Amino acid sequence: MDLVLSADQKLFRATVKGFLEKEAPLTRVRELADTSTGFDRDWWSRAAELGWTAMLVSEELGGGSVSGDGLLDLAIVAEEFGRGVGPGPLLATNIVLAGLAAATDGPDHSHIVEALVSGESVATWAVYEPGGQWSPLTPGLTAKPGSDGFVLDGVKDRVELAEQADLLLVTATTEQGLTQFLVPADAAGVSVEASRSLDLVRRFAEVRFAGVEVPGSAVVGLVGRAEPLVERQLQVAIVLQSAETCGALERVFEFTTQWAFDRYSFGRPLASYQALKHRFADMKTWIEACHATTGAAARAVQDGAEDAAELVSVAKSYVGSRSTQILQDCVQMHGGIGVTWEHDLHLYLRRATVNRALYGTPEDHRLRIADIIAPSERKTS
């Protein structure tokens, strides 16, 4: 993230870090891995009291941030989350809040926003569909007119923390086009089934919608006009995800470097071998570049800059591929211990691998970039 933080932001970072180190150290994350929920709701309410769900929300609805640049402050939290592979719906809830905050037209959801900000409710975005790659604009899930609103039919998967969430933000196709709905997870006709999740605490699930009736007031924004909201949710998702990955890289690089000083072979530390020193130099350079591009994307999205969509895809293209490459190299630097369950490396590798794959792969985002820089040959689907 940005090298230059204000005094308030530095203090804020220290508070976040302190809270996570005390309340969710890796030992706790490992314990949570064995629970059915992957995080603790009371704990999340306390995290929300620190403002982690308030930063993308206007002050009238109980929101606010340290610097006034909410997304930049939130990226600081995400980075600290990455350092400790934090549990809980930080990304899931904030992505939904980003969509709700951007939906200035349409039904009022302020009571829901307030419940999410207080940590009392948890929400998540249901956008992927079984067997599908990233294609948020063409959902197979349909919402047809019903007696009192809409009827939803279809299946979503890779829904983050769906088993724990109270509300689902569902991206659907209606006769008028792309539309998003806020659906209570306990609505009749909604069934949730946990999927096998690569990340030990960030769980995913499949959600089936069988004739789920929702009122017109469940629409987020305007019917048929969800595309800019989806783009906004995507941009926020990638910024937070990249910031989280940067934090993970930073932490793993620290302990891997320390390991290279402490571990000896042939009577000298690993850190004295040029073949390995050069790999550490490469990793250091790539990590700085990951920070640089994440910071630039965060700033652009925060400011609503013209090139925000492009810079988000640039960040995903770079951070997505480099992160897993760096982490695998760190595994290699550790030797055999690096591929054990006992070592913490895999906790980070799991998180980064999920982040790489989610919300469009680096390869998907390269195609998005191509559509921006060479639009005339763009494939129209």
Partner 1 sequence: MTDSTVEAVESFRLRARAWLAENMPRVDVDAVPPPPGDDDAEWVRTRELQKKLYAGGFAGICFPSEYGGLGLTPEHQRAFTEESEGYEMPLLLNVPTFSICAPTIMDMGSEQQKRERISAAIRGDEILVQFLSEPSGGSDLAGLVTRADRDGDTWVLNGAKTWSTCAYAADYALCLARTDWDAPKHRGLTMFLVKVHQPGITMRRITQVSGSTEFCEEFFDDLVLPADAVVGEVNGGWAVASRQLFHERTAVGGGSPFTSGRGTGRVSQPKPDLVQIARASGRAADPRVREMLGEGHALERVQEQLIRRVSIGLETGQMPSPAASIMRLGHAETDWRVDDLALEIAGGLAVSGEGPGRVGDNFLMRQGASLGGGSTEMSRNIISERILGMPREYAADRDVPFSQVKRGSS
Binding positions for partner 1, rule: CB under 8 A:
3-4, 257, 260-261, 268-269, 271-272, 274, 277-278, 280-282, 284-285, 288-289, 291-293, 295-296, 310-311, 313-314, 317-318, 363, 365-371, 373-374, 376-377, 379
Q: From CA 119, how far away is CA 315, in angstroms rounded?
A: 29
Which lies closer to partner 1 via its Cβ, residue 166 or residue 371? 371
Handedness of CA 364, 366, 367, 372 (dihedral sign): positive
- Taking the complex as a whole, the smallest distance from the CB of residue 268 to partner 1 amounts, in Å, to 8
Indicate the DSSP class of residue 380: P
What phi and psi, each to the nearest 5 degrees, are found at residue 160?
-65, 130
- Taking the complex as a whole, the smallest distance from the CB of residue 327 to partner 1 amounts, in Å, to 18
283 CB neighbour count, 10 Å cutoff: 22
Least Cα distance to 47 among 22, 72, 82 occurs for 22
Which lies closer to partner 1 via its Cβ, residue 305 or residue 367? 367
DSSP 222-250: STT--HHHHHHHHHHHHHHHHHHHHHHHH
Which lies closer to partner 1 via its Cβ, residue 124 or residue 313? 313
Which lies closer to partner 1 via its Cβ, residue 141 or residue 314? 314
Q: Which residues pair with 145 in a beta bridge?
A: 150
Which lies closer to partner 1 via its Cβ, residue 187 or residue 296? 296
380 CB neighbour count, 10 Å cutoff: 3
Q: From CA 177, how far away is CA 132, in angstroms rounded?
A: 19
Which lies closer to partner 1 via its Cβ, residue 183 or residue 327? 327
- Taking the complex as a whole, the smallest distance from the CB of residue 262 to partner 1 amounts, in Å, to 12
- Taking the complex as a whole, the smallest distance from the CB of residue 18 to partner 1 amounts, in Å, to 22
Which lies closer to partner 1 via its Cβ, residue 192 or residue 367? 367
130 CB neighbour count, 10 Å cutoff: 13
What the block records as the tokens of 352 is: 């980064």
Which lies closer to partner 1 via its Cβ, residue 120 or residue 307? 307
Which lies closer to partner 1 via its Cβ, residue 54 or residue 300? 300
- Taking the complex as a whole, the smallest distance from the CB of residue 240 to partner 1 amounts, in Å, to 18
What the block records as the tokens of 145 is: 């007119």
Strands (E), the chain: 123-126, 142-146, 149-160, 167-174, 177-184, 190-194, 204-214, 219-220, 264-265, 268-269
Question: How far is C-alpha 205 from the geometric centre of its chain's CA atoms?
Answer: 15
- Taking the complex as a whole, the smallest distance from the CB of residue 301 to partner 1 amounts, in Å, to 14
- Taking the complex as a whole, the smallest distance from the CB of residue 380 to partner 1 amounts, in Å, to 11
Which lies closer to partner 1 via its Cβ, residue 213 or residue 282? 282
What the block records as the tokens of 376 is: 């005339």
- Taking the complex as a whole, the smallest distance from the CB of residue 48 to partner 1 amounts, in Å, to 32
What the block records as the tokens of 339 is: 């591929």
- Taking the complex as a whole, the smallest distance from the CB of residue 323 to partner 1 amounts, in Å, to 13
| In contact, 297 and 238? CB cutoff 8 Å | yes
Residues 6+ apart with CB under 8 A from 168: 123, 124, 125, 126, 156, 159, 162, 182, 183, 184, 185, 190, 207
- Taking the complex as a whole, the smallest distance from the CB of residue 377 to partner 1 amounts, in Å, to 4
